[in-house]
Amino acid sequence: MQTTLQNTSPNKTASQLFNFWESFKKSGTGVVGLYMIIVILILAIFAPLIAPYDESSTANVGISDIYQPPSAQHWFGTDDAGQDVFSNFVYGARVSLTVGFFAAFISLIIGGSFGLIAGFFGGRWETSLMRFTDIMLVIPDLPLTVVIVALTKPSLFNIILVIGLLGWTTTARVVRSQTLAVKSRKFILRARAIGASKPHIVINHILPLVMPILVVQGVLVISLAILNESTLSFIGLGDPSVLSWGQMLNYAFGRGALSSGAWWALLVPGLGIVWIVLGLTLLGQGLEQVLNPRTDTHHLMPSRLPLSKEALVKPLHQNTLFEVQNLSIHYVGEGKAPAHAVEDVSFTLKEGELMGLVGESGCGKTTLMLALLRLLPSAGQIVNGKVFFKGKDLTSLSEEELNEIRWRGISIVFQGAMNALNPVRTVGDQITEAVMKHEPKFPKENIPARVTQLLELVGITADQRDHFPHQYSGGMRQRAMIAMALACNPDVIIADEPTTALDVMIQAQILELLDNLRKKLGLAVIFVTHDLGIVAELCDKVLVMYGGVTAEYADVDTIYNNPKHPYTQELLKAFPDLTKPKKKLSSIPGYPPRLDALPAGCRFAPRCPAAFERCHTEQPALHSIGNNNHIASCHLVEASK
Amino acid sequence: MNRSRAILNKTAWAVFTILFVIVLNFFLFRILPGDPARAGMKDPRLKQEAIEALQVRFGLDKPVINCFDSLNPIKIGNCNVNPLETQFFIYIGNLFKGDLGISYDTNRPVSEMLSERLWNTILLIGAGQILSIILGMVFGILGAWKARTLVDYGSTGISLLFWSLPTFWLGIVLLFWGSANGFPIAGKATPGMSSYPLFQQWGDVLWHMFLPTLTYTIIFMGEYTLIMRSSLVDVLSEDYILTAKAKGVSAFQILKDHALRNAMLPLVTVIAINLGFTVAGAIQIESVFSWPGLGSAVFEAVERRDYPVLQGAFILIAVSVILANLLADLTYTYLDPRVQVE
Amino acid sequence: MSTEHFLEVQGLKKHFEAGRPALFSRDVQKVHAVDGVGFTLRRSEVIALVGESGCGKSTLALLLMGLEDPTAGTIKFEGQDITHLNDHERKDLRRKIQMVFQDPYESLNPTQTIEEIVTEPLVVHGFANVPDRRERVVKAMEDAGLKPAEVYMSRYPHELSGGQRQRVVIAAALVLEPEIILADEPVSMLDVSIRAEVINLLAELRITRQIAVIFITHDLGSVGFFADRVAVMYLGRIVEIGTMLEVLENPQHPYTKALISVIPVPNPRLRHERIILKGETPNPINVPSGCRFHPRCPVAIESCKASDPPMVTLSKTHQSACLLLVK
């Protein structure tokens, strides 16, 4: 009764294939591998047309024909039986491909179904199948293959069968873990909630996401099968009636090619194996890259040095801790339009001040915070502007000079503390590291006491100091991060969405902690969040960002009670207010712009209820309102002045 | 679940796997065509007294196991025999006594023949593994550190090539090259070396090990390089690396204190899974260079249809791999504090 | 049929086994995920189930959907006991109760087009060949705010924004013309500016299609304006239930009071004293004796440690389980 969705049009398949090819083409290695395999396929299919001599023709072979070096007649010389190496090589491709494909087919069927059954059904099925797989995985393949083939007749059929029957273990593991991963995704639960049967779920939801992995795995299994066949042949367990590349090597090695100096008889078949295995490996890498695009970038790659067009070398204001002037940050990707992640943002922060940085995901707020510490990923670059910290221009410092300021002057608490703490080092150890790095004169024997004291400050008991992060709850990890941020008595803490994904009560605990610390230690805090409620509860002033630019910047009361920018106004209307439970929420239509495809005029114009013509063509400048340091970037503000 | 329980669990499974291999080994040699265990008794190379000794030692006149006199062809037998009087339990008993039978070819006890060879193989694999792991780590770290530079592309390309080489063929190529350049190409020692001082003997062995170890190292370092590189790139893009950077820790310190241990985890897993391939490599390399180890024992046993040696070598290889795998598993448990079972 | 008994849940419990405390221990530990929950739902009513993680609200959702089998208690739908139906018996029922999940990125299969996703429920329920199949799909999509439907049909989930994806999930629920939608944190992964659009959509559906909504959330603030009633959960139990205004303006349980006090108010002029509870929700394996909230309760008295408070009726619609309310 339940079948696959019948509306899979040929169009869909075609467009999927096209998309696949487009992304596959980008991986150079994959395309090279594909061409290498195509060459071998042509050799195998058209062998009778390509090979100058018949398969293993021993007619008219005399003793003088044995191990003849390459010549015009025999491009790759002759072998121990006086046969043409090139012809045998061409026919050998057929054997390798046959063994590879059929053995891999058997392995994939077994491994695929074991993995699928174990992953999908779980329970006893999973336990018994995976235990069996683990046992088979540990037992060394080749010796077992050798034993079985040695005890049976070494025919090509037997060889394929044995290689296939023993080569499924990794496939079973890979397919099982992919099945488990797919099964745990919410769309499977949704399908169950709809009432879909198990076969329906497997066919429509699990298989489409497991098949690609199986294809990649298949490419790998083929190459292993080809290697295994050649090894067996070389050991002397090949099918004597067919001449595979391994068999050619076996004969040449066993029958004096070395002593006769007949390098061609050894080199040519070996290169054939290398060619096909390398081709398959590259192809597999290319396919893998399509499935799991990896950017191959990481945090220790050299960062781009800031550009600075401004001649300004001095901070404008006195007595500020932080002063950010006209900061612009772009992301530069190969062959991509630069993304203008942050454009012309300025603000100041005084001692003990708490500033809220509000914006939706993708508005550039995290980029801005990383830039303050010069921690941008390698594609990011400060293209304009200055960051002054206590009068020092951070954009002109070297990495070593920055390392002195990081954590001692400015520390940062990241979102999602699960990943922000190293899982294999204890929490206490990671705090100790910060103390030792920045206070080398601090007496070593007092460090544990200091770490304990820091943890107690955030409500973590001394006995939990030497626990690993995974032994902490989410809230505790976040508090441990705060303790770590306090380790070197910094002047500023940047808190980047520190309470997102935490429960309301835990969130309240952490906010109270930050607020108390600020009062007790005179810390300045930059609090990055998308939650307007938290900002209203906590902050002194607020910077509202939209699409990488400052929308509005003012003290907290002005932002909430006298906002000038339409984005701020709309955002407040969309935010639920418990004190007005009857009020209907309004949403802002549309969604934020992509930073690499910005609208021509004001970045908020496409969603703005008050937008007029000019907004779509001209970017508004930052206008100050009154003399209270209230800034908004909106044409309406200019008009009303 | 705590760590000691995890260790207990893993050890128990290793023991179970060994028992499985022992049973598999027994039945393989009795189910597959020709019942080599019995057919072997007619092997013309065996001396009469050896045959008689074997009859008694392996109880070949007794039923294979309860209810079956023979498994190929299947002959149903009496189920009411004393299990200890069947071939199966006699085989198990002999195994625990260390008795693996007598070689058809040399008429020597298999255990005696293989025990000296086992150490030669461990020497070769040990040297090759250590070298390939060290080199793989070095190039992997270099590739990850200098990601997307020429160094990275070069090391990845060479690694992919190394990974694709058939072991025995690389052995042959190096043999070809080595013989032209005066390297020893066969065996473990120069004949007559035993009269020389010990350190000279050792030097001679090392000299003989050069080409086999080189082959081994090249074959395995490619994969280790690739794994190390990709797992290090993964680790280096984690948030905790950014935390360390924000703490002002220098890049070198981050690599040393925060990244390496985490990046080692996948490498250890791969080394464990690779142990089987390691043995496959040893069989080929030892065969090419006539290195007197377990691998060449397999090669020779196949050539001479010397089944007791083949059977013994298989048991020995499998048990060593299982134990080495257990060791790797326990190392992982030590490296990763998060390890838990189920 | 009485509207009172549209959906009726009584004494619902779900205990999971959690392995043994020690290697050779005999007793198996139990996670008391849902530990005696009861409430009723009227036709086209919106009820909000509010609680922190670990309070059992997600397990409760799975129980109501029949995706987990309850340990005890009953669920009645339109008077019929649906607690332990098998897959076959449940099939018709599944059409009437549909679910919307937290993460719209995860709850759509990336290899299916939007049309396939919205059509799938019809296929599963054997309506694949009805003549008005396409119209039903189009109507569901447009009712969910994906207008015009044709524009979206051949797209893939990754081509849509978060809010649009959540609309697709809702469309796939609407296509079967359900009577109840169970929404599990449907907006917590969305940006603030588009949360309201999803909430407003759900609020509209109850009016246009008379759909009842069970809205599960950790954020009392987000349900304020559209829920009829609110049930506050703590550690597997409902500790307070009442109309939205009763609970928000006159909370009686100390936990509800604390929960409401910590909800940030987006107005700096209204900063107020918050009741911040110490510690975290205890592990549901070791449920505290007596009142399960007493270890964290700011106003607990001695007897709270010993006796489990009953539900106290405060008004026709307002009930709370606290010993201080027992007179």
For A262-291, how does the pLDDT look when each residue is reduced to its tens digit (9 = 90+)? 888 899 999 999 999 999 999 999 998 888
Model ipTM value: 0.90
Q: What is the pLDDT of residue A453?
A: 93
How far is the alpha carbon of A215 from chain B, nearest alpha carbon, in Å? Answer: 19
Q: What is the pLDDT of residue B67?
A: 81
Rounded mean pLDDT of C241-268? 92
| Poorest-pLDDT segment among A29-38, A161-170, A299-308 | A299-308
Distance of CA C47 to the CA centre of its chain: 8
Q: What is the pLDDT of residue C309?
A: 93
How confident is residue C21, by pLDDT bands cut at 50, 70 and 90? low
| Tens digits of residue pLDDT in A141-185 | 888 898 888 888 788 999 999 999 999 999 999 999 999 999 989
Q: What is the pLDDT of residue A312?
A: 59
Q: Which residues of B touch A332 (CB under 8 A)?
A: none
Residue keyed to tokens 């901070």: A315
Q: What is the pLDDT of residue B42?
A: 63
Q: What is the pLDDT of residue A309?
A: 61
Cβ contact, residue pair A509, C125, below 8 Å: no
Q: Yes or no: say if C168 and C151 are a contact pair by the CB < 8 Å rule.
A: no
Q: What is the pLDDT of residue A9?
A: 54
Cβ contact, residue pair C225, A583, below 8 Å: yes
Taking the Cβ of residue B267 and every Cβ of chain A, the question of whether any pair is shorter than 8 Å is answered with: no
Compare C194 and B42 and report the one with higher pLDDT. C194
Taking the Cβ of residue B29 and every Cβ of chain A, the question of whether any pair is shorter than 8 Å is answered with: yes
Neighbours, chain A (3 or more CB pairs < 8 A):
B, C
In the predicted structure, residue C298 carries a pLDDT above the cut 80? yes
Q: What tokens does A65 get?
A: 């024909």
Q: What CA–CA distance (Å, rounded) separates C54 from B130?
A: 48
CATH number of B113-335: 3.10.180.10, 1.20.1630.10, 1.10.260.40, 1.10.3720.10? 1.10.3720.10
Q: What tokens does C215 get?
A: 């809205």
Q: What is the pLDDT of residue A556?
A: 94
Compare B170 and B337 and report the one with higher pLDDT. B170
Q: What CA–CA distance (Å, rounded) separates A267 from A273?
A: 10
Q: What is the pLDDT of residue A460?
A: 92
Rounded mean pLDDT of B124-138? 95
Q: Which of A186, A504, A534 sits opposite C52 (nearest CB)?
A: A504
Q: What tokens does B35 get?
A: 């019942």
Q: What CA–CA distance (Å, rounded) separates C294 from C316?
A: 26
Residue keyed to tokens 């082959």: B215
Contacts of B179 (CB under 8 A, 6+ apart): A258, B185
Q: What is the pLDDT of residue A149?
A: 87
Rounded mean pLDDT of A400-421? 88
Q: What is the pLDDT of residue B40?
A: 59
pTM given for the model: 0.89
Rounded mean pLDDT of A505-509? 89
Mutation pick from A578, A584, A603 vs chain C, by most beta carbons of C within 10 Å, is A578
The Cβ of residue B204 has, within 10 Å, a number of other Cβ atoms equal to 17
Q: What is the pLDDT of residue A506?
A: 86
Domain layout of chain C by residue ranges: 7-325
Number of separate helices (H) and strands (E) present in chain A: 25, 12
Rounded mean pLDDT of B36-52? 66
Q: What CA–CA distance (Å, rounded) separates C174 from C169?
A: 9
- The b-or-e profile of A65-75 (16+ CB within 10 A means b, else e) is bbbbeeeeebe
Q: Which of A327-341, A497-511, B227-241, C125-139 has the highest mean pLDDT?
A: B227-241
In the predicted structure, residue B318 carries a pLDDT above the cut 60? yes
Taking the Cβ of residue B176 and every Cβ of chain A, the question of whether any pair is shorter than 8 Å is answered with: yes
CA proximity to A307, closest of A386, A379, A372: A386
Q: Which residues of A touch B310 (CB under 8 A)?
A: 146-147, 150
Compare A583 and B254 and report the one with higher pLDDT. B254
The dihedral of CA C63, C65, C69, C73: what is its sign? positive
Q: What is the pLDDT of residue B341?
A: 37
| Poorest-pLDDT segment among A413-417, A507-511, A608-612 | A413-417
Cβ contact, residue pair A186, C107, below 8 Å: yes
Q: Which residues of A touch C270 (CB under 8 A)?
A: 536, 579
Percent of chain B with pLDDT over 70: 93
CA-nearest residue to C279 within chain A is: A506
How far is the alpha carbon of A106 from chain C, nearest alpha carbon, in Å? Answer: 27
Neighbours, chain C (3 or more CB pairs < 8 A):
A
Q: What CA–CA distance (Å, rounded) separates B339 from C12?
A: 36
Q: What is the pLDDT of residue A141?
A: 86
Rounded mean pLDDT of B47-76? 75
How confident is residue A8, by pLDDT bands cut at 50, 70 and 90? very low
Q: What CA–CA distance (Å, rounded) separates B96 from B84?
A: 14
How confident is residue C286, by pLDDT bands cut at 50, 70 and 90? confident
Compare A9 and C274 and report the one with higher pLDDT. C274
| Tens digits of residue pLDDT in C98-142 | 999 888 888 999 989 999 999 999 999 988 888 888 999 999 999
The Cβ of residue A322 has, within 10 Å, a number of other Cβ atoms equal to 25
Q: What is the pLDDT of residue A5?
A: 46
In the predicted structure, residue B278 carries a pLDDT above the cut 80? yes
CA proximity to A257, closest of A95, A82, A94: A82
CA proximity to B169, closest of A386, A602, A45, A271: A271
Cβ contact, residue pair A591, C163, below 8 Å: yes
Element (H, E) at A357: strand A354-358
| Poorest-pLDDT segment among A52-56, B286-290, C105-109 | A52-56
In chain B, ranges of CATH 1.10.3720.10 domains: 113-335
- The b-or-e profile of A123-136 (16+ CB within 10 A means b, else e) is eeebeebbeebebb
Q: Is C240 helix (H, G, I), strand (E, B) or coil?
A: strand
Q: Which residues of B touch A135 (CB under 8 A)?
A: 16-17, 20
Q: What is the pLDDT of residue A241?
A: 87
Q: What tokens does C7 get?
A: 């959906």
In the predicted structure, residue B253 carries a pLDDT above the cut 90? yes
Q: Where are the alpha helices (DSSP H) in chain B?
A: 3-31, 36-39, 48-58, 87-96, 110-145, 150-164, 167-180, 198-236, 239-246, 251-254, 260-289, 294-304, 307-335
Rounded mean pLDDT of C263-278? 88
Burial grade of A52 (CB within 10 A; 0-12, 13-18, 19 or more)? exposed
Cis peptide before B63 (omega within 30 of 0): no
Q: How many CB pairs under 8 A join A and B?
A: 237
Q: Yes or no: say if C50 and C12 are a contact pair by the CB < 8 Å rule.
A: no
Rounded mean pLDDT of B129-150? 94
Residue keyed to tokens 């659009």: C197
- Ordered by where they begin, the domains of chain A are 9-295 (1.10.3720.10), 320-409+491-640 (3.40.50.300), 415-489 (no CATH)
Decide yes or no: CATH 3.40.140.10 for domain C7-325: no
